[in-house]
Amino acid sequence: MNSTVNFILESGISLSLLATIYVIFLRKETFFRLNRLFLLGSLLFSVVLPFLKFRVYEPQPVMLSEITVTPYRNVLESVTVYGQDLSVTVEQAVLSTTLLIWIYLAGVAFFFVRFLFRVTQIAFVILKNQVQQHDRFKLVILEKECSPFSFMNYVFVSRPLQNSEGYDRMMAHEMEHIKQGHSLDVLILELLTAFQWFNPFMWMLRRAIRENHEFLADQAVLGSGVNRGYYKKLLLNQFAGGQLVLTNNFNYSLIKNRIKMMSKMKSSKIANVKIILGVFTALVLIVFFACEQKETMELEEPSVDENVVTIKSTLLEDGRMKIEGTEEDMEEFTNRYSDVNSFKIETDSLGNIFLVQKEEPKTLDHDADVFYIVEDMPEFPGGELALRQYIANNIEYPLAAQENGIQGKVYVTFVISKDGSVANTRIARGVDPALDKEALRVVNSLPKWTPGKQRGENVNVSYTVPINFALQ
């Protein structure tokens, strides 16, 4: 679901920016074909953008002898920990609101069903009325009175209108819609609208494309030698009634805008440079969303507590560390360190708080047999996805590393022992002491696994997990 939210957000932002550029800088220009390319390109780019991933930097893995089994199952997929990731934060906020998800899905279902209903409606109109086959199109004769409209290679015209003045001009207009394939644009628009129905810029772009279709058809008719004044009069004398929403019809756009565009002087060629704004925006979006070091699976971003805790520590002879501070700081300190794997908090009868180091992580004997591949591999409670989720939920990006811009992939090697506990944890390849320490802490805190078996007996099995700390 998080990848779906990411798609909706990134494509929505792209549509919003490109639609704004069109409305402000390009809508009033008369290079309609270029505008159509810009609008369709904006739609296509916004759909593709969430799938673009360019890795600007990826460290080459150093394969040590202990972890040369990377192609096999006991080398886990990388777990990425994000220190500053706005998109993940937004995704979490959306996914945490069940009502919001259901409202969005209900909207998608409504607009998709509406789209299917309109296509079906057009199909029934074709089936119920007389259809005449022509060289490049099919003419559907309607008994009710309405303005001509077109869809795909069908032109729909009222029977009484066939003998009216200006009929050939109206037919020429609809034929341009067919020649230029405007119906395909409309179908793409309807499908994308179903997924971006909540985005007002999507509706703005939708209207702009339909309006541009009318400008293109009007331009082609006038270019064939039709008198401009006569054509304007024909527009004013026609009325729209009964056309289907998916179709291109003679009066779809606001007649006022169409007449104004006919009267507008042709835009100078230098105005074409405005298209560069759209290209520049697309490049910025690619850099912002696609050029990142990102793994195939994104997990939850760990929260970073920026509260400063001021305490006084005194190392005692017995190895314990006495902690002193204000009541608020002591409470925060206790909450923060109560579940740290390598330390535990103890309190004496007087209420003094001590920080005591726990026992060292389990270490197997040097002569213990360690397997890499066995008949029955060890299994984390809930499976590998649960393991990745556990690491993502329990790890914290060290604040000092974030402030200093330190990031990279830490490879932790460990052994699942015969009793299912984690042993022999070590850094196979590190990045920074702070990141290495945090990666070791989380791996050492893993609960017991179901141990691996070879020929029916529990055995020790080696694993390597890459934990990628990435600042975004």
Rounded to an integer, the average pLDDT of 156-181 is 86
Is the same domain home to 130 and 192? yes
pLDDT of residue 109: 94
Q: Which domain holds residue 341?
A: 311-357
Is the same domain home to 407 and 321? no
Is the same domain home to 407 and 428? yes
Is the same domain home to 27 and 149? yes
pLDDT at 368 > cutoff 80 = yes
Q: Return d(Cα 370, Cα 348) in angstroms, integer.
A: 42
Q: Which of 441, 386, 388, 384 has its CA nearest to residue 412?
A: 441
Look at residue 302 and tell me if it is in a domain: no
Is the same domain home to 328 and 375? no
| For helices 200-223 and 32-48, angle between their N-to-C axes, nearest 10 degrees | 150
Maximum mean pLDDT: which of 90-99, 242-251, 408-417: 408-417
pLDDT by residue (tens digit) across 169-188? 888 888 999 999 999 998 98
Q: How many CA atoms lie within 13 A of 284 on its CB side?
A: 10
What are the φ/ψ torsions at residue 219 (nearest 5 degrees)?
-60, -40
Is the same domain home to 57 and 126? yes
> Confidence class of residue 57 from pLDDT cuts 50, 70 and 90?
very low
CA 287 to chain centre: 14
- Which is more confidently placed, 52 or 356? 52
DSSP, res 97: -
pLDDT at 192 > cutoff 80 = yes
> Confidence class of residue 64 from pLDDT cuts 50, 70 and 90?
very low
Strand partners, 458: 453
Largest CA distance in the chain: 109
Q: Return d(Cα 323, Cα 333) in angstroms, integer.
A: 9
**Among candidate residues 357, 387, 415, the one where a domain is terminated:** 357
Domain tally, the chain: 3
Is the same domain home to 67 and 170? yes
Q: Return d(Cα 206, Cα 249) in angstroms, integer.
A: 16
Is 465:443 a contact under the CB 8 Å cutoff? yes
Is 298:80 a contact under the CB 8 Å cutoff? yes
Q: Two tokens at 147?
A: 């303005």
What CATH number should be reported for the domain holding residue 399? 3.30.2420
Is the same domain home to 405 and 375? yes
pLDDT of residue 61: 32
Is the same domain home to 455 and 349? no
Is the same domain home to 94 and 203? yes
Look at residue 417 and tell me if it is in a domain: yes
Rounded to an integer, the average pLDDT of 68-81 is 44
**Among candidate residues 299, 322, 357, the one where a domain is terminated:** 357
Q: Return d(Cα 313, Cα 333) in angstroms, integer.
A: 12
Q: Two tokens at 386?
A: 């649960």
Q: Return d(Cα 213, Cα 219) in angstroms, integer.
A: 10
Look at residue 305 and tell me if it is in a domain: no
pLDDT by residue (tens digit) across 287-331? 877 665 443 333 334 344 445 556 666 655 555 667 777 767 666
Q: What percent of the chain has pLDDT over 70?
A: 71
pLDDT at 87 > cutoff 70 = no
pLDDT of residue 437: 86
Model pTM score: 0.53
pLDDT by residue (tens digit) across 435-471? 888 888 888 888 899 999 988 899 999 888 888 887 7
Helix, strand or coil, per DSSP, at residue 177? helix
Look at residue 363 and tell me if it is in a domain: no
Look at residue 16 and tell me if it is in a domain: yes
pLDDT of residue 304: 42
Look at residue 47 and tell me if it is in a domain: yes
Q: How does strand 138-142 pair with strand 154-158?
A: parallel
Q: How does strand 457-470 pair with strand 408-416?
A: antiparallel
Rounded to an integer, the average pLDDT of 200-214 is 88
Instruction: For Cα atoms 308, 309, 310, give the angle at the middle one, nearest 5 degrees.
Output: 115
pLDDT by residue (tens digit) across 95-122? 556 777 888 889 999 999 999 999 999 9
Is the same domain home to 149 and 38? yes
Tell me the helices (H) and strands (E) count for the chain, helix number first.
Answer: 14, 15
Look at residue 303 and tell me if it is in a domain: no
Q: Return d(Cα 466, Cα 61) in angstroms, integer.
A: 10
> Confidence class of residue 347 from pLDDT cuts 50, 70 and 90?
low
Is the same domain home to 348 and 377? no
Q: Return d(Cα 70, Cα 108) in angstroms, integer.
A: 42
pLDDT of residue 278: 84
- Which is more confidently placed, 361 or 114? 114
pLDDT at 386 > cutoff 80 = yes
- Per-chain mean pLDDT for the chain: 76
Look at residue 63 and tell me if it is in a domain: yes
- Which is more confidently placed, 123 or 145? 123
Q: Return d(Cα 274, Cα 19) in angstroms, integer.
A: 14
Q: Which residue has the tokens 């945090």?
A: 438
